[in-house]
Structure 1
Amino acid sequence: MISRFTSLVRFTLLLFPLVATVPGQALAAPASAAAALPDLNAPLPIGPQVKVGKLDNGLTYYIQRNRKPEHKLELRLVVKAGSILEDEDQQGLAHFTEHMAFNGSTHFKKHELVSYLQSIGVKFGADLNAYTSFDETVYVLPVPAERPQDLDKAFLVLEDWAHGLTLNPEDIDKERDIVLEELRLGKGAGDRMQKVLMPKIYNGSRYADRLPIGQEAILRNFKPDAIRRFYRDWYRPDLMAVVAVGDVDPAQVEQLVKRHFAGLKNPVPERKRDYAAIPARTGTEALVVTDKESGPASVLIRYPVQPYRERATLAGYREQLVEGLFSGMLNQRLAELAQTASPPFMGASSAPGRLTPRYRSYNAMAALGKNGPTPAIDALVQENERARQFGFGAAELERVKKTLLRTYELAWNERDKTDSAQYAAEYMRHFLEGEAIPGIDAEYRFVNAMVPGITLDEINAYARRTIPADSGKLVIYTGPSGAGAAIPTGDQLLAAVAAAERRDVQKHDEKAVAARLMDQPPKPGSIASETQDARLGLTRLTLSNGVKVILKPTTFRNDQVLMSAARFGGQSLFDERDTFNARYADTIVAAMGLKDFTPVDMRKILAGKAAAVSAGLGTNTDVVAGTAGATDVETMLQMVWLKFAGVRRDEDLYKSFIGKQMELARNRLGQPGALFGDAVLATLYDNNPRAPRALRPEDIARIDLDRAIAIYRERFSSAKDLTFIFVGSFDVAAIKPLLATYLGSLPTPDIPTAYRDLGIRPVKGVVKKVVNSGSEDRSTVSLTFTGPADVTEKEELRLGALTEVMNLRIIDVLREKMGLIYGGGMEGSMTRLPYSHYTVGVTLPTGPQNVGKVVDATFAEIERLRTRGPEQSELDKVKTNWLQSYRKSLQDNGYWLATLQTSLTEGTDPANILRFDKEVAALTADDVKQAAQRYLNTQNYVQVVLNPENPATAKREQAVSQR
């Protein structure tokens, strides 16, 4: 695609999921949707929805009025300058410049900018953010748009970023520690392997030695003049764009752009902005890169890298549609292979892919299972060759066309309900990559006119010319090393590819599947009673079988219906010997399909549909969840009915599923982060076998297919005590007959619908543990506070305010003032199940030499909050952000569904959703102080520290981290 829906469409076609966010409601399409297209050589126009302009100094701007979310403006400053432009003494300084944008400028002293933005509800990291890549740097600034002074100041922020950074030596020196902590955070197996891979991936080009994070020695020692030179050379208006999308007057915003940016000057002389070339690969070679801490093994076959620029014409647009259809069909075939009894891989994909804004290549890749790379390579090469020689079938093409058309239908249906950030991302791509922006009205018209006319012969011709044959290639294996790892050699990889290329392939065997989920609906039940809740806009139904329904029709989205149901029960009802059978029962059943259909059958039957349903066992609840487009509600309800109608037992699919889980669990054993997470939970719950933890290979080996099926049937043979909640774009009168038919006919025999309290409790007192794992010089501190709680909405609010204030301090003190961390923070929760309690967790990655300082600084801030409470300014920042988020959430179907479901599960008043703003306004600093005293009990917490496995380092840090 060439539009903002590029990622959505490609993802849908590649993975073919049972998506929820695909179209349903049949809104009136543009009258000309099926009209004949103009000349395919005609350029794609810029749509009327966006104002695109250019100042005399070369700065480009994009402005669009969009009212979702209300009273909000999404601002972006986009700079066509990244790490690829760094001189030898500047490696890492493009990214460092981005950091310095928050550390002093013409109109904002150090720390003033972040503090000001927090005061108007902009949250650092979650809202306010930035990133640096090879070829660009982007600053993200969402701001409230209700007050003119906030808008003007927001543009002042962008102006300072563009040409007003002070770059003071003392500020630079202060930021070094933070950037070095970010570099440390990125270290590990992935970083080590990447440094070996990059020269080959980028064919020895400049990209290989210009990773944005840079070189540690340069970051520690560069002179201020080096970063000033980068800023002067590349932060200039002819390489910049301002993107402004939101609930604003475009004319007002255009004046702000001109006022703040028209005076910017380009440097004289200008350095030429070149894009690094990637040399062509002519030969074939293999690379094997392993690490004992690596993630799952994988193989990549990268065919020659080629220059690529999108053609901004209707013909180019049509080519992208053809490519998307081709990729969707090929990857569907690979997905089918992954679900065989002894699959060649755990998952795979094959398609053209972009490497940089100006280069791409054809790639085939797979995540490997226990049988290693040879069967995966064989399958990848043969499926590509099968498609190249024999093409695809008419039924395959018809399915992907349906999915593509429905995806665009959704986008068009939701055009007035699309978040401003999505439009902003589209305009960024237009500026950086040349992606055309004709607007969804035009695209919907183009797609409806083009897709039906794309023929099978055309697709198959595309496959023949696109899938490489007899070309040079790079074959890469990555994976874990260590005892028991079967690591191939480069020669073995090349031999596997060569052998696969020599094999004869046969035409794909396309098996016919049913046209629909159900030949006829079940005998319907009836609606026994109906009541209204005018406060919340709810309709409550009781069906003839006792099943209850809550309906909340909304206009928040034009084409989305969400569903949820829960009752007490879940895994808690089963004995310890069934722990893993119960935990995996629902995923095992889902992996085998639905009633009479395999997962592959389901994807085919549901092509072009918008329906997904899951049924599972939580710890203390049984849960059914679903989502659908507005015209696919019946399909979603049929899937619910089939979830209760029986289980499809398939030994082959079970073996495939268990094999993948075993491989993933085995691979976790070498990863420091996974071992650390296990240690935190084990320490917190004193190794209780029923406590939550990640599964190990020996746990998976204990799973029994028939027992897992029996457990699922025990819970989902009956819909007794389930209340189904529906929120979204539906008509109450129209949906009621469907509910009576599918939910009213569900079986409701008597089953237990209460949970068991298994007595799982955290340890008491102060418990400390050190975990030594990992070869990098990095540590992580975990602190967990737990205890009983009187769980009320007000207490949850106080706990939330406590954690938010602490996060402000963690950023301000541990990061900005002390330079001990790059990221991390505190989060808290309360629940009434299976007993009323709270949990507060703190996670802080840092260096081993700083563990003691991090622990001491964190407890110092905790003590300050316990004794003095928060500053009023801190609490005001939290309140302002919450209220802005609340206003947005009130227009979100998911927020309403979650609130209604929680009110049922925990027995609270759902009308509290309407009082949140008043509760926030009433929150005081003393409330937060008392919450800190209750929930941050320094005599009752668990501290777990991850240190490197080097014994000397570990011993030293055990000493300094003791309090």
Structure 2
Amino acid sequence: MSKNFVRGLCLAALLCAQVLAVAPHAAAKPATALAGAKAAPRNLAPLRLDAAIPVGPQVKVGKLANGLTYYIQRNARPERKLELRLVVKAGSILEDEDQRGLAHFVEHMAFNGSTNFRKHELVSYLQSIGVGFGADLNAYTSFDETVYILPIPTDNPQHVSRAFQVLEDWAHGLDLAPEAIDKERGIVLEELRLGKGASDRMGKQIMPAIFNGSRYAERLPIGTEEVLRNFKPDALQRFYRDWYRPDLMAVVVVGDIDPAQAEKLVKQHFAHLENPKPARPRPYAEIPARQATEALVVTDPEATGNAVLIRYPVQPVHEAGTIRAYRDDLVQSLFSAMLNQRLQELAQLPEPPFMGASSSLGKLTPRYRSYNASAALGPRGAEAALTALVAENERARRFGFGAGELERVKKNLMRTYEQAWNERAKSDSGTYAAEYIRNFLQQEAIPGIDTEYRYVKELVPGITLDELNAYARRTIPADSGKLVLYTGVSRPETPQGQQLLAAVAAAQRADLQPHDEKAVAARLMERPPKPGSIVAESHDKALGLTHLTLSNGVKVILKPTDFRNDQVMMSAARFGGQSLFGDQDILNARFANAIVASMGVQDFTPLDMRKILAGKAAQVNVGLANYTDVVVGASGATDIETMLQLTWLKFNGVRRDEDLFRSYVGKQAELARNQTAQPGARFGDAVMSALYNNHPRAPRTLKAEEYEQIDLDRSIEIFRQRFSSARDLTFILVGSFDAAAIKPLLATYLGSLPTPELTVAYRDVGLRPAQGVVKREVRSGTEPKSTISLSFTGAAEFSEAEQLRLSALLEVVNLRIIDVLREKMSLIYGGGASGVLSKIPYGNYSIGVTLPTGPENVDKVIAATFAEIEKLQQDGPAAADLDKVKSNWIQNHRRSLRENGYWLGHLQTALSEGTDPGSILQVEQQVQALSAEDIRTAARRYFNAQNYVQVVLNPEAPAATAVAASSSKHTASGG
């Protein structure tokens, strides 16, 4: 296990990823206080720092005689599911000059036929057993590796056996016949086209500087258009022959399988593979050290924002694999957390030097790392950002950190690991698989969470402030060769390279004072409010629900689960929202949530809150949606009271802070300025304009000056109107808690919420889609890229059954789009349809189809899409397609039934839509009952060729002319 594993696990463990990202937390109570928690082993020998980190007992790591490595772990989450990975230690860095892009091309060919699967047979077979293409079945190619991802249901042993055959075919049995290769060219070229734009244009100028002229800059995985269009089949076959070999491979097997059976299958399918003779040596690209300081300015009119980066000299990375090295990584984590908290403080000043910033020691590649400092620029520009960024690093280097700062980040770190340990038996197999991939590719240690938790509990308390400050002095570069990079939108005020270097040099020499640490309260509330009481209670045994009515009229639905050991999710909603406010107030209402949140809670700024909540896993967001007032929260099992306190505080006053308001509005205006030239933003606005006839409530990109129209006091007033009362709210809590134990907390915090009268109903604001056939074209962007948007809308009667039919129709449409437009016609790389049936504010449906392609193919794509729709309307879906949809849905539903978020969402929808919450137990039967006639009828009902909006984004100028004028590059050197 690793710190990356822990971080990823905790983020995935909560409904709102921000719960841990915003307030990474440490333990408020020992983990043993959790129901069912098992204490970590005690009375162990003291840790020896020079000892090697062992491989944990949870995984078996083996190596076959041919050099192939394998990892096997039995894991029960999700049930009846197996995660398989084929990892090849070969990527684009190994390509010869005539192979640029072919590492990635081989990955594409893996889904196009092999020894045991004809073209299309593999994907079709996997879809038939519930494995979705893209969502489940996938792969990726990077500089140094290619990874194939294959999740398989384990209900049928034959499926498992055949899945190992798939891995074997990927390893040495791909069909790389010339005709198959030529068929795939169009799809890969469409993927190349899809990636074109400002980031790609700028990246081609930036990469040589970032990688100090190394081979990495010349081997982007997507490759070059010239090679992709013209390479000979032998070049692809040569790459596959040279690098797809067992001594460069690993097979990862994690899930609901007997380890002995898994090992038998690994040996059966991979022991006979042979390495080529002679085998080409597997080289690793070197990145030379930077000696001189250089500034690089790269701009583009379509850039998404302005930023600066200071990259200090790269250093080779060697994974020592010792406990001492593990401890060093903990020191690095604590250091980065403290420094980045200081940078976040600067970002919340009334006139911040940047919108956000970070600074840390990070990996550039698996074998190299460097110290970096970066910032997203605000209205004050690059020089102010660089000055603040360098000065804050220099302040930490000279004066170090304070005891309070270290205490908080230690708490946060400990809570993060505690959560991972608490969830050790409930962690998803895919998370473990990712960890073993990193072990194979980067030698990341895998001792297991029991061992890691022990390391952290024993090592973190001994890390001293003096040690951290010494680490800061030697880690933050005082003076060295560096790259100062500016990227952004082309503007007259864009700085020159010499200006950047001068700002950095001046900041390094500046006269600085130690960081001023402001004291904050130790807790959110000095004392709890006067509690209410529970006046009614009932139970739904079939769904495992407890219904409570509190003395103030607020209602609560409790669903304790054992899906996770350290996760609780909460939501509440009622009708109202932005709809209750007039068009003249739409900006104030739309931004009321974010503005109030940006100013903190009662007497505490957001930074104060971060400090107070150190060691707590709890967050609550409250706001106005279009037609509803919404409360969403999440916490760890030991932090439910903190989550409820935050909820209480949200309903009991708004903190008014003019400075933080100005800071928020300034950042939003800057973001808006950066969006104005982006083709995607223009296209999105054109779609909404055409669809809703420029209605003032339709979503759109705001202009920078419009943010100046937001009135702070009116936004606060709107928020208070809706959240000074909890009347008619039903709070739903799902997760790891004991219903009896939390009742006093509910009575105290939810039962004491104010509930004065207020309107609990939404207002129909008259937002209606255009009628008839509307067609528009948007010209924006310099690359030869087009995007087609088709919107089908209309009135419809809402029901769960009809929502299911509409969803099934869209899944079938997506299968046809991929099969026909991508695989057969090679017109697109990706794209698809999505839609929703709603009863608010009136019974209606909305379907959107988005298809990126080339300008020369727009008419073909539209015609092919409508042809597939017409086939569905006339003939209904093929039985195989409908069976694929059903199988995938059933697999996902079974997995989701063990997810707190799935239950929370279903229960909340049932309340809002007035549907039967018990329908969650009949999903499989409802899915199985879907017929081809249901889909045919839905296709006729929802795809009306006489009523749709078509918007096409086309480039504004021929690419060759436009690109030449689109980017600028300025360099400067310094001593």
- TM-score, with normalisation over the residues of structure 2? 0.96
Letter in 1 for 2:296: L
Structure 1 residue 690: Cα displacement: 1.5
Distance 2:10 2:502 in 1: 32
Query: Corresponding residue for 1:958?
Result: none
Letter in 2 for 1:861: E
Find the partner of 2:279 among 267, 270, 280.
Answer: 270
Aligned residue for 2:22, secondary structure, equals coil
The correspondence of residues 291-306 of structure 1 with structure 2, limited to 5 A, is 291-306=300-315
Cα contact 2:538–2:547 (8 A) shared by 1:
yes
Query: Corresponding residue for 1:957?
Result: none
Structure 1 residue 696: Cα displacement: 2.3
Distance 1:639 1:280 in 2: 49
Letter in 2 for 1:888: R
Aligned residue for 1:915, secondary structure, equals helix
Aligned residue for 2:297, secondary structure, equals strand
Question: Does residue 424 of structure 2 align to residue 433 of structure 1?
Answer: no
Letter in 2 for 1:5: F
Distance 2:291 2:259 in 1: 51
Question: Does residue 368 of structure 2 align to residue 359 of structure 1?
Answer: yes
Structure 2 CA distance for partners of 1:424 and 1:352, relative to 1, 3 Å: same
Deviation track 1:562-585 (CA, whole Å, cap 9, x = no partner) reads 000000000000011100000000
Find the partner of 1:873 among 866, 880, 890.
Answer: 880
Distance 2:19 2:893 in 1: 35
Find the partner of 2:23 among 13, 18, 22.
Answer: 18
Find the partner of 2:637 among 625, 630, 636.
Answer: 630
Structure 2 CA distance for partners of 1:775 and 1:33, relative to 1, 3 Å: farther
Find the partner of 1:172 among 169, 181, 191.
Answer: 181
Structure 1 residue 158: Cα displacement: 0.4
Structure 1 residue 310: Cα displacement: 2.1
Aligned residue for 2:646, secondary structure, equals helix
Query: Corresponding residue for 1:496?
Result: 503
Distance 2:879 2:8 in 1: 43
Cα contact 1:100–1:172 (8 A) shared by 2:
yes
Structure 2 CA distance for partners of 1:97 and 1:452, relative to 1, 3 Å: same
Aligned residue for 2:559, secondary structure, equals strand
Structure 1 residue 276: Cα displacement: 0.2
The correspondence of residues 135-146 of structure 1 with structure 2, limited to 5 A, is 135-146=144-155
Structure 2 CA distance for partners of 1:898 and 1:195, relative to 1, 3 Å: same
Cα contact 1:9–1:404 (8 A) shared by 2:
no
Cα contact 1:543–1:740 (8 A) shared by 2:
yes
Distance 1:32 1:922 in 2: 51
Find the partner of 2:387 among 378, 383, 391.
Answer: 378
Distance 1:515 1:696 in 2: 41
Distance 1:123 1:101 in 2: 16
Q: How many percent identity over aligned positions? A: 69
Aligned residue for 1:190, secondary structure, equals helix
Distance 1:636 1:671 in 2: 39
Structure 1 residue 137: Cα displacement: 0.3
Cα contact 1:34–1:449 (8 A) shared by 2:
no
Cα contact 1:774–1:948 (8 A) shared by 2:
yes
Question: Does residue 764 of structure 2 align to residue 742 of structure 1?
Answer: no
Cα contact 1:291–1:479 (8 A) shared by 2:
yes
Find the partner of 2:334 among 320, 325, 333.
Answer: 325
Structure 1 residue 702: Cα displacement: 1.1
Distance 2:69 2:632 in 1: 45
Query: Corresponding residue for 2:849?
Result: 842
Query: Corresponding residue for 2:66?
Result: 57
Query: Corresponding residue for 2:767?
Result: 760
Query: Corresponding residue for 2:547?
Result: 540
Distance 2:490 2:879 in 1: 53
Query: Corresponding residue for 1:649?
Result: 656
Structure 1 residue 695: Cα displacement: 2.4
Deviation track 1:638-695 (CA, whole Å, cap 9, x = no partner) reads 1000001101000110010000000011111010001101111111001011222232
Query: Corresponding residue for 1:686?
Result: 693
Structure 2 CA distance for partners of 1:13 and 1:654, relative to 1, 3 Å: closer
Structure 2 CA distance for partners of 1:15 and 1:348, relative to 1, 3 Å: farther
Structure 2 CA distance for partners of 1:756 and 1:16, relative to 1, 3 Å: closer
Structure 2 CA distance for partners of 1:13 and 1:700, relative to 1, 3 Å: closer
Query: Corresponding residue for 2:490?
Result: 481
The correspondence of residues 882-897 of structure 1 with structure 2, limited to 5 A, is 882-897=889-904
Query: Corresponding residue for 2:824?
Result: 817
Cα contact 1:23–1:411 (8 A) shared by 2:
no
The correspondence of residues 602-751 of structure 1 with structure 2, limited to 5 A, is 602-751=609-758
Runs of 4 or more above 2 Å deviation = 1-16, 18-38, 692-696, 951-954
Find the partner of 1:423 among 422, 426, 432.
Answer: 432
Moved more, 694-703 or 766-775: 694-703
Structure 2 CA distance for partners of 1:600 and 1:395, relative to 1, 3 Å: same
Distance 1:747 1:684 in 2: 41
Aligned residue for 2:361, secondary structure, equals strand
Cα contact 2:414–2:457 (8 A) shared by 1:
yes
Cα contact 1:553–1:727 (8 A) shared by 2:
yes
Distance 1:369 1:791 in 2: 45
Structure 2 CA distance for partners of 1:205 and 1:785, relative to 1, 3 Å: same
The correspondence of residues 771-850 of structure 1 with structure 2, limited to 5 A, is 771-850=778-857
Query: Corresponding residue for 1:82?
Result: 91
Cα contact 1:19–1:611 (8 A) shared by 2:
no
Cα contact 1:20–1:629 (8 A) shared by 2:
no
Distance 1:133 1:161 in 2: 17
RMSD: 1.7
Deviation track 1:105-158 (CA, whole Å, cap 9, x = no partner) reads 100111111111111111000000000000000000001112111011000000
Distance 2:775 2:432 in 1: 48
Letter in 1 for 2:774: V
Question: Does residue 954 of structure 2 align to residue 934 of structure 1?
Answer: no
Structure 1 residue 432: Cα displacement: 0.2
List alignment gaps of at least 5 residues for structure 2: 12-16, 962-975
Distance 2:490 2:959 in 1: 24
Letter in 2 for 1:670: A
Cα contact 2:792–2:949 (8 A) shared by 1:
yes
Count of aligned pairs: 952
Structure 1 residue 8: Cα displacement: 4.0
Distance 1:856 1:495 in 2: 57
Aligned residue for 1:550, secondary structure, equals strand
Find the partner of 1:450 among 438, 455, 459.
Answer: 459
Deviation track 1:409-438 (CA, whole Å, cap 9, x = no partner) reads 000000010000000000000000000100
Distance 1:429 1:862 in 2: 44
Distance 1:356 1:431 in 2: 15
List alignment gaps of at least 5 residues for structure 1: 955-963
Aligned residue for 1:264, secondary structure, equals coil
Aligned residue for 2:79, secondary structure, equals coil
Letter in 1 for 2:410: K
Query: Corresponding residue for 2:298?
Result: 289
Distance 1:642 1:287 in 2: 48
Letter in 1 for 2:899: D
Structure 1 residue 5: Cα displacement: 2.4
Distance 1:33 1:14 in 2: 31
Structure 2 CA distance for partners of 1:38 and 1:372, relative to 1, 3 Å: same
Query: Corresponding residue for 2:561?
Result: 554
Structure 1 residue 175: Cα displacement: 0.3
Distance 1:669 1:727 in 2: 42
Deviation track 1:466-521 (CA, whole Å, cap 9, x = no partner) reads 00011110000000014xx4200011110111111110111111011000000000
Structure 2 CA distance for partners of 1:916 and 1:549, relative to 1, 3 Å: same
Structure 2 CA distance for partners of 1:163 and 1:736, relative to 1, 3 Å: same
Cα contact 1:889–1:895 (8 A) shared by 2:
yes
Distance 2:668 2:418 in 1: 37
Query: Corresponding residue for 2:965?
Result: none
Letter in 2 for 1:926: E
Distance 2:951 2:436 in 1: 45
Cα contact 1:387–1:463 (8 A) shared by 2:
yes
Structure 2 CA distance for partners of 1:196 and 1:22, relative to 1, 3 Å: farther
Question: Does residue 598 of structure 2 align to residue 591 of structure 1?
Answer: yes
Cα contact 1:349–1:364 (8 A) shared by 2:
yes
Structure 1 residue 78: Cα displacement: 0.1
Aligned residue for 1:271, secondary structure, equals coil
Structure 1 residue 30: Cα displacement: 3.5
